[in-house]
Amino acid sequence: MKKDIRIKKFYEKTVETWFLLCAIIAILFLGIISIYLFLEGTPAIFKIGLKEFILGSKWMTSAEIFGIFPMIIASIYGTLGAIVLGVPIGIFTAIFMAEIAPEPIVKIVRPAIELLAGIPSVIYGFFGLIVIVPIIDNIFGNGGNSLLAAIIILGIMILPTIVNISESAIREVPKSYKEGSLALGASQIQTIFRVILPAARSGILAGVVLGIGRAIGETMAVILVAGNTPLLPESITDRVRTMTSNIALEMSYAFGLHQEALFATGVILFIFIILINVALHLLVFRSEK
């Protein structure tokens, strides 16, 4: 009988350890991913020279000149543009969902936003290629593939993230805030913009930061619409290549220093992502306080 209990206890303990190990796998893989990426990528940065790599404005693989400055700039411009386009529309849609829309309309719009979030990025890219690119070409006569096309597609792609997170932030504002403001004679719109939005600020910011992460990391959709020329863009209608596109476009045939330089591009991208995550963590932490 005693032995039986001991076996049972051992069994329970083993399973608990298994659960713990599974939970630790997330930490383990975050570690392995970081280590392997840096191991593969940093040697190239030293071989090429940190300054030449990050600030070099020429990417010529046949001459072994690897400068990713134009791609860093393209990634930043693309992301900023997407934010300028997507954030106002996203936050206004979130206000609509949480405060303005009658319940039946919310019931129609919510699945639409869920669907928008579920559409694969390659479909956004395909849509951009066959619809947005020709429209831009008609207006500017530049062939259509451009930074502008990337901005429009990324702006659409970050909408669901911003709407969902902003909406839950707005809904979490205590009802008493709203009631107090309305009772003091403020209009509905005044209440939303002077009371509710400031109270939901850090949640909304978290949504924006997540949107930034999605925009800067997007690859396939951008490749299909941005034109992929590794030159510094002079205007919004120029063809650009982002860091992510650079990796995906050339990885399949690269070898030697060229391949290492692509991993190094990944390292720089990864550093951007880490910074974004730290910002997000600080925001969430502050709002929990």
Alpha helices, H only, 141-174: 147-171
Fill in the DSSP letter of residue 66.
Answer: E
Smallest gap from residue 125 Cβ to another protein (A):
7
Q: Are strands 65-66 and 59-60 parallel, antiparallel or unpaired?
A: antiparallel
Q: Which of residues 76-135 bind another protein (CB under 8 A)?
A: 88-90, 92-93, 95-97, 100-101, 108-109, 111-116, 118-127, 129-131
Which of 7, 32, 55, 184 forms a contact with another protein (CB under 8 A)?
Answer: 32
Q: Which of residues 195-234 bind another protein (CB under 8 A)?
A: 210, 213, 216-220, 223-224
With binding defined as CB under 8 A, does residue 44 bind another protein? no
Smallest gap from residue 144 Cβ to another protein (A):
14
Helices 243-250 and 256-288: crossing angle in degrees, nearest 10, is 140
With binding defined as CB under 8 A, does residue 23 bind another protein? yes
Tokens of 163: 């709407």
With binding defined as CB under 8 A, does residue 30 bind another protein? yes
Smallest gap from residue 235 Cβ to another protein (A):
25
Say which residues have a Cβ less than 8 Å from residue 49's Cβ, sequence separation at least 6. Answer: none
Half-sphere exposure of 40 (CA within 13 A, CB side): 18
With binding defined as CB under 8 A, does residue 237 bind another protein? no
Nearer to another protein, 187 or 235 (CB): 187
- Give CA–CA dist 155/221, Å, rounded: 12
Nearer to another protein, 147 or 209 (CB): 209
- Give CA–CA dist 122/129, Å, rounded: 10
With binding defined as CB under 8 A, does residue 66 bind another protein? no
With binding defined as CB under 8 A, does residue 172 bind another protein? no
Q: Which of residues 257-286 bind another protein (CB under 8 A)?
A: 262-263, 266, 269-270, 273-274, 276-277, 280-281
Nearer to another protein, 141 or 185 (CB): 185
- Give CA–CA dist 129/225, Å, rounded: 5
Smallest gap from residue 209 Cβ to another protein (A):
9
With binding defined as CB under 8 A, does residue 10 bind another protein? no
**Would you put residue 256 in left (φ > 0), alpha (ψ -120 to 50) or beta?**
left
With binding defined as CB under 8 A, does residue 1 bind another protein? no
Which of 107, 135, 188, 198 forms a contact with another protein (CB under 8 A)?
Answer: 188
With binding defined as CB under 8 A, does residue 189 bind another protein? yes
Distances, alpha carbon 211 to alpha carbons 79, 127, 143, 154, 207, in Å: 9, 20, 28, 9, 6
With binding defined as CB under 8 A, does residue 38 bind another protein? no
Half-sphere exposure of 68 (CA within 13 A, CB side): 27
Tokens of 88: 């106002």
